[in-house]
Chain A
Amino acid sequence: METTKEIVINTEPFVVNFGPAHPSTHGVFRMRMTLDGEVIVDMEPVFGYLHRGIEKLAEERTYTQVIPLTDRLDYLASMSNNLAYCLAVEKLAGIPVPERADYIRVIIAELQRIASHLCAVGFFLNDCGAFMTPVLYMLRERERILDLFDMVCGQRLTYNYMRVGGVSQDVPDEFIPAVAKFIGEMPGWLDEYERLLKENEILLARAKGVGILPKELAINIGASGPVLRASGVQWDVRKADPYSIYDRFEFDVPVGTAGDCYDRYRVRVEEMRQSLRILRQAIKDLPGGGEVRSEVPHLIRPPVGEAYGHLEGPRGELGFYLVSDGSIAPYRFHVRAPTFINLTALADMMRGWKIADAIIVFGSIDICMGEVDR
C-alpha cells in the first residue's frame, strides 16, 4: 500500500500597486492590492493624488465665485454640481427661482445625467475588455449632449452655467428643438447598445454575480445613486426629497435585485430611459419667456446659519453643506461626494475575486477622481 502524501505548496501573498497611473483607475486612484496569485486577499484604497483643496479655496471666494470651483469636482457632471451648490445657497439665503429657470435646470440636469451615465456604462464595458467599441459609441452620443451644453453656455466640460437664483442666461431659441430631436433619437441609440452587449454571454459571465454589494452593507456605508439602487434599495433624492420641481414629473426609479456589477450597469441604462421621460415632460411644460434669474445682489450675504442642499447626481447623492457667518464668502464649505462614500465599499466587494474582477467592480462604481479627492 502506498501512502498518499499531501503536498502543500506554500504560496506567498504579494502586494501590487494598481495606480495611481494605471489605464483603468479612472484617474489617479491607487489600490494597494494584496494578491494570492490572481486572487485578491485584501485591498486598501489610497486617495489624495488629485487633492486641490477646493473646500478651502471656496471659503476664500464669494458665493458666485465658488460656482466655477464646483465645475472642477465631478468634471463628467459639472452641471449637476453647479445645480447642487446653487440649491444650497438658495436654501441658505432664501432666494426664489423663476419657474422657467427651474425647468431649464431640470432639462440640463437630466441631459447631464444621460451624458454621465453614457460615460459610466461605456467605460465599464471597456473595463470588461470590450476593446473601445462601446465607449466610442457612447461618447458619440455624449458628444451631442456636449453640443447642446455648448449651445446654452459656450462650454463643453466646465460649464459654470447655473447661478444662484436661476441660470446665467436664457437658452437660445434653437436649443429646445435640438433637445427634442435628441430625445427622439436617443432611445434608438440605447436600443442599439442593448442589442450589442446586454445579452452577451461573456459579459454575463464576467459581470453577473460579481462584486456583490449586499443591501445592508450598502445602506450602512451610506452608498447612494445607482450603486445603492442596484442593491435593491429604492432611494432617489428626486423622489425622497424632491428638490427644484421634480415633484411635477412622472418617472420610475429603477432598482436592481442582486447588487452585482451587471445590475449596476442595468440600473444606469434604465435611468437613462427615465431621464428621457423626464426630459419629454419638461420640454412640453416649459413656460415660454419670462425671467430666468431672480434679482440677486452681486455680493450675496446670506444670514448667519447653515444649509445643506443636495440632489440626485448621476453618481449618487451630491450634497453641499454651507455655513454662513453673514459675510460675502462661505464660512465653511463641505462637499458630500457620492463616489467617495461609495468607494468605501470597494474592498468588501473585491475581496476573494480575481484581478480582472477587481477592475470591473471598480468600473461599475463609476468614480470621478475630481470629486473623490476634491
Chain B
Amino acid sequence: MAMQMLPPDWPGNFWAHWAIFAVAVLVFVLLMVIVFIWFERRAMAVMQARLGPNRAGPFGLLQSVADALKILIKEDIIPARSDKLVHWLAPVVAFVPALLIFAVIPFRGGAILADLNIGILYIVAISSVTTVGIFMAGWSSNNKYSTLGAMRQVASVVSYEIPVVLSLVGVILLAGSLSMQQIVAAQDIPFILLQPLGFLLFFTGALAEINRAPFDLTEADSELVAGYMTEYSGMKFGLFFLAEYAEALAISAIVTTIFLGGWRGPLLPDWLWFLVKVFIVFFVIVWIRTTVPRLRIDQLMALAWKFLFPLALLNLLITAIEILVWPAVSLWVFVPINIAIAIVLVVLWSRFFKLGWGKVEV
C-alpha cells in the first residue's frame, strides 16, 4: 500500500507527500546547481592561480543568480532553417531526465521521493535519455559544429553505457537489491572499499556520461566552439547549462549513494553527511577537469571498449565468485583483496592496450 510506504515523520496524505517532496527536490536541485556553479568556478580559480567570481554578493556567491537573470532577459535566437519544434524541445528533453534521477536518491534515512525496487535500473534507463536531447539539439540547430558534437555524443554513449552498467552490477550483487535505500542500508562497509575497481570504472564512465573533462568531447570548446549548444541562447542555453550541472549533481549523488555509503556516517546529522559527500565527489570532478587534457573521440571509444568493458566484466566475475564461494566470511576480508585486485588489473590492463587508431589514409 502506498500509504504505508510513507515515512512516519512526513505530513499529509499520499498526494500531499508527493507534491511536497517533488517541490522540495526541485528546489534542492536548483539551489544546488547555483551553489555548484559557484563552487566549481571558485575551486577552479584556486587551482588556476586566479580569483574567480568575487564581486556579486559575499565571496561572489550571487554570481550564478546574476548570470541566471542575464540569461533570462537575453534574446532567444533560433537559427534560420532549423527544425524549430525539435530545437525548442531539445533543452527540455535534456533537462528533465537529470531532474528525474533525484526521485530515487535517498537524501537521508527515509527521505526519498520514490523508493523504487528497481532504483539503479531506473537511473541507468533515465540518464541515457539526456543523450536524445543532446542529439536533438545538435540535429535541429542546422550547424555543423552542433551536428559534430551530437554525433560524438551518440558515438560515445554507445561505448561507455555498457561498462557503466556492468560496473554497477557488482554493487547490486553485494547489496542484494536494486533499491537505493537497500543499497545504502547494506553499506556497513562503504562499497568503494569493497568495489574499488567498480568505483573507478563507474566514475570514469560517469564522467563521460555527464560530458566532463577529460571526456567533454561533445562541447569541446577548443574544437567545436560549444558543441551541440553552439546555436542556443537565452533561457534555452540556460536549460542546457542547468541540465549539465544537474547531471553533475546527480552523478555526485549517485556515487555518494552507491559507493560512499549515502547518508550514513558518524557524528554529523545524516543529511549533512550526504551533502558533504556530494561536495567531495563534485570536487574530484572539478579537480580532474582542471588537470587533464581531453581525449579524442576514437580514444574515448577505445578506452571504453578495450579498457572499461573487459575490466567491468572481470570485476563482475570476481565479485560473483567471492559472494558465491565465501558467503559466510565477513566482508572486511574482501577489502584488501579487492583493492589489490583492482590495482593489479588496472596496471596490467593499461600495459595491454593502446589508445586510438591514429591516422587514416585519405
Please give the residue numbers on chain A whose beta carbons come within 8 Å of chain B beta carbons, in ascending order: 14, 16, 22-24, 36-42, 125-133, 136-137, 140, 196-197, 200, 202-203, 205-206, 209-210, 351-357, 359
Nearest-CB distance from B269 to chain A (Å)?
35
Q: List 11 A-B contacts (CB under 8 A).
A: A24-B222, A36-B362, A128-B222, A131-B44, A132-B48, A137-B48, A202-B294, A205-B355, A355-B223, A355-B224, A356-B220
| Complex partner residue of B362 from A23, A24, A352, A359, CB under 8 angstroms | A352
Given A16-B144, A356-B294, 7 other A-B residues pairs in contact with their CB atoms under 8 A? A41-B362, A129-B214, A130-B291, A206-B295, A356-B297, A357-B296, A359-B223
B47 touches A133 (CB 8 A): yes
Contacts A129-B213, A200-B292: A38 and B297 contacting too (C-beta < 8 A)? yes
A206 touches B296 (CB 8 A): yes
Q: Which residue of B lies closest to A209 (CB)?
A: B358
B293 touches A354 (CB 8 A): no
Nearest-CB distance from A54 to chain B (Å)?
29
A351 touches B148 (CB 8 A): no
In the complex, whether B108 has a CB less than 8 A from a CB of chain A is no
| Complex partner residue of B144 from A14, A125, A352, CB under 8 angstroms | A14
In the complex, whether B2 has a CB less than 8 A from a CB of chain A is no
Nearest-CB distance from A202 to chain B (Å)?
5
Please give the residue numbers on chain B whose beta carbons come within 8 Å of chain A beta carbons, in ascending order: 44, 47-50, 144-145, 148, 151-152, 213-214, 216-217, 220-225, 289-299, 355-356, 358-362
Contacting residues, chain A, for B297 (C-beta < 8 A): 38, 354, 356
Contacting residues, chain A, for B145 (C-beta < 8 A): 16
| Complex partner residue of B222 from A38, A129, A203, CB under 8 angstroms | A129
B48 touches A136 (CB 8 A): yes
Q: Which residue of B lies closest to A128 (CB)?
A: B293
Contacts A24-B223, A39-B362, A355-B148: A206 and B293 contacting too (C-beta < 8 A)? yes
Contacting residues, chain A, for B361 (C-beta < 8 A): 352
B298 touches A354 (CB 8 A): yes
Distance in angstroms between the alpha carbons of A342 and B48 in the assembled complex: 32
B213 touches A131 (CB 8 A): yes
| Complex partner residue of A127 from B48, B50, B222, B356, CB under 8 angstroms | B222
Contacting residues, chain B, for A39 (C-beta < 8 A): 360, 362
Distance in angstroms between the alpha carbons of A197 and B50 in the assembled complex: 20
Contacting residues, chain A, for B151 (C-beta < 8 A): 37-38
Contacting residues, chain A, for B216 (C-beta < 8 A): 129
Distance in angstroms between the alpha carbons of A202 and B148 in the assembled complex: 22
Nearest-CB distance from B214 to chain A (Å)?
6
A22 touches B358 (CB 8 A): no
A-B interface contact total, Cβ < 8 Å:
101
Distance in angstroms between the alpha carbons of A36 and B360 in the assembled complex: 11
Contacting residues, chain B, for A205 (C-beta < 8 A): 295-296, 299, 355-356
Contacts A16-B144, A129-B294: A202 and B223 contacting too (C-beta < 8 A)? no
Distance in angstroms between the alpha carbons of A356 and B227 in the assembled complex: 12
B362 touches A356 (CB 8 A): no
| Complex partner residue of A38 from B48, B148, B221, CB under 8 angstroms | B148
| Complex partner residue of A359 from B48, B148, B222, B291, CB under 8 angstroms | B222
B359 touches A136 (CB 8 A): no
Nearest-CB distance from B245 to chain A (Å)?
16
Distance in angstroms between the alpha carbons of A133 and B291 in the assembled complex: 7
Distance in angstroms between the alpha carbons of A58 and B156 in the assembled complex: 53
A354 touches B296 (CB 8 A): yes
A130 touches B293 (CB 8 A): yes
Nearest-CB distance from B259 to chain A (Å)?
24
Distance in angstroms between the alpha carbons of A42 and B360 in the assembled complex: 12
Contacts A129-B213, A132-B48, A133-B48: A356 and B290 contacting too (C-beta < 8 A)? no
Contacting residues, chain B, for A127 (C-beta < 8 A): 222
A-B residue pairs, 9 tightest by C-beta: A129-B294, A128-B293, A205-B355, A24-B222, A130-B293, A129-B293, A136-B48, A352-B359, A356-B296
Nearest-CB distance from B155 to chain A (Å)?
9
Nearest-CB distance from B359 to chain A (Å)?
5
Contacting residues, chain A, for B299 (C-beta < 8 A): 205-206
Contacting residues, chain A, for B144 (C-beta < 8 A): 14, 16
Contacting residues, chain B, for A14 (C-beta < 8 A): 144
B294 touches A128 (CB 8 A): yes
Nearest-CB distance from A350 to chain B (Å)?
10
Nearest-CB distance from A9 to chain B (Å)?
14
Distance in angstroms between the alpha carbons of A14 and B145 in the assembled complex: 12
Distance in angstroms between the alpha carbons of A22 and B226 in the assembled complex: 10
Q: Which residue of A lies closest to B47 (CB)?
A: A133
Distance in angstroms between the alpha carbons of A204 and B34 in the assembled complex: 36
Q: Which residue of A lies closest to B355 (CB)?
A: A205
Distance in angstroms between the alpha carbons of A53 and B148 in the assembled complex: 37
Which one of A129, A133, A137, A140 has the greatest number of beta carbons of chain B within 10 Å?
A: A129
Distance in angstroms between the alpha carbons of A124 and B358 in the assembled complex: 19
| Complex partner residue of A202 from B217, B220, B295, B359, CB under 8 angstroms | B295
Q: Which residue of B lies closest to A353 (CB)?
A: B359
Distance in angstroms between the alpha carbons of A353 and B297 in the assembled complex: 12
Nearest-CB distance from A349 to chain B (Å)?
11
Contacts A24-B222, A126-B222: A351 and B213 contacting too (C-beta < 8 A)? no
B49 touches A137 (CB 8 A): yes
Q: Which residue of A lies closest to B358 (CB)?
A: A209
